């Protein structure tokens, strides 16, 4: 069999793709301390907790539900990077461990991203219909965050 350059490159690309599948992401979830968990905080209205659970949990909490395609690399690496970045910015599982200053800053940021409809990402809600927020949902969340400022 005579291999030309294109064929060799093709075989190499497939080999690389197969090999990187061996380096899956670590799916272990960081633990949730219930007293720190926003989603279980009874002082937050239930409808708000449900909205934020449906729309933000996968990237902003330690209760991520990983989709099946997280097992396909490099897609999984990319998604995991997103989730880690999201958690770092804002982690509803750790909400009550934030001091007042940090909470106040996060509340302001939440209002801003809700007003600009920046979160949740379109690429996410396209697949996760449950996370789609209506204008009423956005208004409800803004009103809630304004009320705790």
**Residues of the shown chain interacting with ligand HEC in the complex, contacts defined by CB under 6 A:** 52, 55-56, 58-60, 82, 85-86, 89-90, 109-110, 112-113, 119-121, 124, 131
113 and 100 Cβ atoms separated by less than 8 Å:
no
Please state the closest distance from residue 41 (CB atom) to ligand HEC, in A. 15
Choose between 32 and 142: whose C-beta lies nearer to ligand HEC: 142
Q: Do residues 140 and 48 touch, judged by C-beta distance below 8 A? A: yes
What would the DSSP string read from start to end of 62-114? S-----GGGGSTTHHHHHHHHHHHHHHH--GGGGGGS-HHHHHHHHHHHHHHH
Q: Could you tell me how many residues make up the chain?
A: 149
Helices (H) and strands (E) counted in the chain, each on its own, are 6, 0
CB nearer to ligand HEC: pick between 7 and 117: 117
Q: How far is the CB of 149 from ligand HEC (least distance, A)?
A: 14
Q: CB-wise, 25 or 90, nearer to ligand HEC?
A: 90
The residue among 3 and 146 lying less far from ligand HEC, judged by its C-beta, is 146
Q: How far is the CB of 51 from ligand HEC (least distance, A)?
A: 7
């Amino acid at each position: 069999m005579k291999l030309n350059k294109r064929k060799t490159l093709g075989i190499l690309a497939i080999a690389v793709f197969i090999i990187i599948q061996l380096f899956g992401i670590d799916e272990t979830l960081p633990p949730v301390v219930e007293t720190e968990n926003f989603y279980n905080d009874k002082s937050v209205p239930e409808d708000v907790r449900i909205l934020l659970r449906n729309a933000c949990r996968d990237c902003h909490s330690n209760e991520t539900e990983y989709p099946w395609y997280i097992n396909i690399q490099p897609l999984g690496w990319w998604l995991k990077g997103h989730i880690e970045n999201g958690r770092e910015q804002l982690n509803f599982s750790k909400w009550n461990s934030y001091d007042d200053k940090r909470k106040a800053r996060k509340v302001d940021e939440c209002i801003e991203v809700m007003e600009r409809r920046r979160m949740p990402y379109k690429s996410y809600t396209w697949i996760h219909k449950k996370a789609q927020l209506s204008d009423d949902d956005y208004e409800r969340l803004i009103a809630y965050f304004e009320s705790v400022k």
